[in-house]
Structure 1
Amino acid sequence: MGIGETAYTRRSGVSELALAVEASRRALEDAGLNPDDIDGLIRNDFDTVTHNDLAHALGITDITYWGLNGAGGSAAPGQIAQAVAAIESGQATTVLVYRALNGRSGSDRYGQTRRGLDGPNTVGGNGTYDEYFLPYGLAAAGQVYAMVAQRHMIEYGTTSAQLGSLATTIRKRAETNPRAQMGHRAMTLEDHQNSRTISQPLRLFDYCLETDGACAVVVTATDRARDGRRPPVLIRAVTMSTGAEPKGGVVFPSLFRDEYTTFPSKQAAQTLYSRAGLGPSDIDVAQFYDCFTITALVQLEDYGFCAKGEGGPFAASGAIDLGGQIPINTSGGHLSEGYIHGLNHVVEGVRQMRGESTGQVPNASTCLVTGGSPAPTSALILRRDQ
């Protein structure tokens, strides 16, 4: 694998294509490759940068496979899964996976207007359940996750302070990461508890950072990777999962499920561990999708690191900190590094397996990376080359 990223900022001042090109060139340089070595491209379905845009800008001669994955934050491990499938099936030899967005400065954040996820075009059909929510004021993802958090609190006694302990632990990882947007801002649990409520019970510091930036990852066959510039990081297993009740739409319709404090990540975990021949006790470090604190907390349960309903006490116990049972989000995550729809978590997973992270877990040889939930999700396990 080769990895590349831009700076994570509040205002990039350049186009999303320029961001994608910068991250891609850095990933190629990291892998010791030229643009003509790439014959596959895979993008996030919210990305404005199409495969032909990027191929032209990079000067790639021919693309024999291209694809996209989503929706939005669920995509990143699934994009890697598509790259694996393309290589294993012989449709490509070396695949560039990318995500670029002006998520903070852009007027069309996260691609929502393009996809018709907000505004009048959503009402009156379109094959999703989104129209049953938007006209009644449920118009932002944070409101959905707030309802998940409320239900988790009612059923299991989870507290805002437990969510805060997760946020402060992840912020500590950002403090040692010069790339992190919040690397210069220490945060205490008191700071978290005193931050303003955005959507009850979620506070300002329970939310991820809207970010301008891009990431890129090069995926190729193991034998070729071992001839590359950097130590290879191997993909032990990949998976995607809709769960039993996917519903039509992106995030809001998950509230129609009978149980929405368990995500499709529970089914993804079962498939992933089966394919890898591993279990939770075999994972040394994890990069959990943390668009909100509650998202990561629920996934701690779904991926088997603690029992259902125990995510709050588990996070507050120190188990997710360096030296704990399962250190998580070691670059600062979406909460404190930047929000590139999960692909920066893949980049950090590679760094952990190379021993290059600013929040390095000693002797880590396996890393779990998860995609967004409660929408249909994806996940992967990376391992260090022995």
Structure 2
Amino acid sequence: MHGTTAIAGIGATEFSKESGRSELQLAIEASKSALDDAGVSPSQVDGFVSYGMDTSPSIDVARGLGAQALTYFGMVDYGGGAACGTIMHAAMAVATGAAQTVVAYRAFNERSGARFGTALNVEGWGVDARAANYAWYLPHGLMTPASWIAMFARRYMHLYGATSEDFGRVAVLDRQHASTNPKAWFYEKPITLEDHQASRWIAKPLHLLDCCQESDGGQAFVITSLERARDLQGTSAVIRASAQGAAYDQHSMTSFYRGDADRPLPEMGLVAEQLWDKSGLRAADIDAAVLYDHFSPFVLAQLEEFGFCGRGEAKDFLAEGNGTLDSALPINTHGGQLGEAYIHGMNGIAEGVRQIRGTAVNQAKRAEHVLVTAGTGVPTSALVLGVDS
């Protein structure tokens, strides 16, 4: 499927804090926008992929769009870790003949509806493996994503001597790019490192500005064969490589029990190994990167796992000015989830496609190969997108 499938269309709703409509409506709007971008009729769609956490079943989206006959429908688990996995599953369906035209989508009212940043409550859950897992955390005050990631961040600081200011550089970089992106929630609102340091604590060592925003919105994609994509309107992004990964002693957001000498994010390292093997590329070949940034410390770990710098060197890599539009590796040129919107990583894939097309607001000087990653701290996924040569 690698090199033979492509993202032919991208579409999104506006990103807001109160959409005023249902999550299903957002999913349908984003999907229709992606189909219009590709020049594909809804009646031609025969497959859908979304998240295990999405509230809009594919058959409901299909009815709303006017799709006629579905031959493939799938869901990818583990929250934000599913983002690039949806594209991978769609590409697999196309490459194997299970479907010809697949829509991957994600939509939610995460700010005006069920807020992801609030404390987890397992009341009403059955006595199952999920509830048993959280029984080790919730009674001890580890109740929110920020509290779980704070544990990761503290260990990373212990291992490599990173500081809160090092995490803050990610937030400053994202907001710098968001400030020139009219679709970003924080358009024209850059921050300084001093602003980051002055923002209130959420769960030490995480400041408010280390944590992604909560957003309402939808994002969708049309995936088909590269051969067919060439006959459609617009410019497609070739799927050069895709991968999923879950590593040794993997937990969902709470992988606290690995050995003292283990690297912080081995699941993303596993994904990186697959991407480089499947694409024949290496870190030096990547022209821009969209790194999942629901919490700033994970961006540093990802830079190291993909080989953009050595272990513990990401803090220096960023301090030296890497990540900006003028650097060798522009990062999160749309503003990321800290700056544009938190659509569970799907808006990052859209930015990857725009970079390949040459239509990004903050366009990299060169964008033949773009890396996009999905959620960190959970079983995850990633993509390498490329130009059609």
Residue 123 of structure 1: CA displacement? 8.2
Residue 110 of structure 1: CA displacement? 4.5
> Which of 322, 325, 340 is the aligned partner of 1:322?
325
Q: Which consecutive unaligned segments of at least 5 residues does structure 2 have?
A: 1-7
Task: Judge conservation of contact 1:260–1:374 (CA < 8 Å) in 2.
Answer: no
> Which of 96, 101, 106 is the aligned partner of 1:99?
106
> Which of 56, 59, 71 is the aligned partner of 1:64?
71
- Name the residue aligned to 1:42: 49
- Name the residue aligned to 2:183: 179
Residue 349 of structure 1: CA displacement? 0.3
Residue 119 of structure 1: CA displacement? 2.3
- Name the residue aligned to 2:115: 109
TM-score (norm 1): 0.95
Give the residue type in structure 1 aligned to 2:115: R
User: Is 2:380 the counterpart of 1:377?
Assistant: yes
Residue 244 of structure 1: CA displacement? 2.0
User: Is 2:95 the counterpart of 1:88?
Assistant: yes
Distance 1:310 1:118 in 2: 38
The alpha-carbon distance between structure 1 residues 364 and 84, as it changes in their structure 2 partners (threshold 3 A), is same
Task: Judge conservation of contact 1:263–1:373 (CA < 8 Å) in 2.
Answer: no
Give the residue type in structure 2 aligned to 1:77: C
User: Is 2:141 the counterpart of 1:134?
Assistant: no
SS at the partner of 1:109?
A: coil
User: Is 2:24 the counterpart of 1:17?
Assistant: yes
- Name the residue aligned to 1:52: 59
- Name the residue aligned to 1:208: 212
Distance 1:306 1:207 in 2: 24
Q: Which consecutive unaligned segments of at least 5 residues does structure 1 have?
A: none
Give the residue type in structure 1 aligned to 2:186: M
> Which of 3, 9, 12 is the aligned partner of 1:2?
9
- Name the residue aligned to 2:364: 361
Q: Runs (4+) of structure 1 moved beyond 4 Å?
A: 110-113, 121-124
Identical positions, percent: 42
Task: Judge conservation of contact 2:9–2:223 (CA < 8 Å) in 1.
Answer: yes
Structure 1 vs Structure 2 CA RMSD:
1.6
Distance 2:124 2:144 in 1: 16
Distance 2:187 2:246 in 1: 35
Residue 124 of structure 1: CA displacement? 4.8
Distance 2:377 2:286 in 1: 22
User: Which deviates more from structure 2 when the two are superposed, residues 41-50 or residues 258-267?
Assistant: 258-267
Give the residue type in structure 2 aligned to 1:275: K
SS at the partner of 1:238?
A: strand
SS at the partner of 2:185?
A: coil
Distance 1:197 1:140 in 2: 14
Task: Judge conservation of contact 1:171–1:336 (CA < 8 Å) in 2.
Answer: yes
- Name the residue aligned to 1:346: 349
Task: Judge conservation of contact 1:243–1:264 (CA < 8 Å) in 2.
Answer: yes
Matches within 5 A, 1:141-152: 141-152=145-156
TM-score (norm 2): 0.94
Residue 260 of structure 1: CA displacement? 6.3
Distance 1:330 1:302 in 2: 20
Residue 385 of structure 1: CA displacement? 1.4
Give the residue type in structure 1 aligned to 2:361: T
Distance 1:161 1:101 in 2: 32
Matches within 5 A, 1:287-302: 287-302=290-305
Task: Judge conservation of contact 1:239–1:378 (CA < 8 Å) in 2.
Answer: yes
- Name the residue aligned to 2:253: 251
Task: Judge conservation of contact 1:31–1:228 (CA < 8 Å) in 2.
Answer: yes
Give the residue type in structure 1 aligned to 2:336: G
SS at the partner of 1:256?
A: coil
- Name the residue aligned to 1:161: 165
Q: Deviations over 1:196-220 (max 9, x none)?
A: 1111011011010100000000000
Residue 245 of structure 1: CA displacement? 2.1
Matches within 5 A, 1:260-299: 261-299=264-302
Distance 2:125 2:345 in 1: 26
Distance 1:121 1:307 in 2: 45
Give the residue type in structure 1 aligned to 2:256: L
How many residues are paired up?
A: 379
Residue 55 of structure 1: CA displacement? 0.5
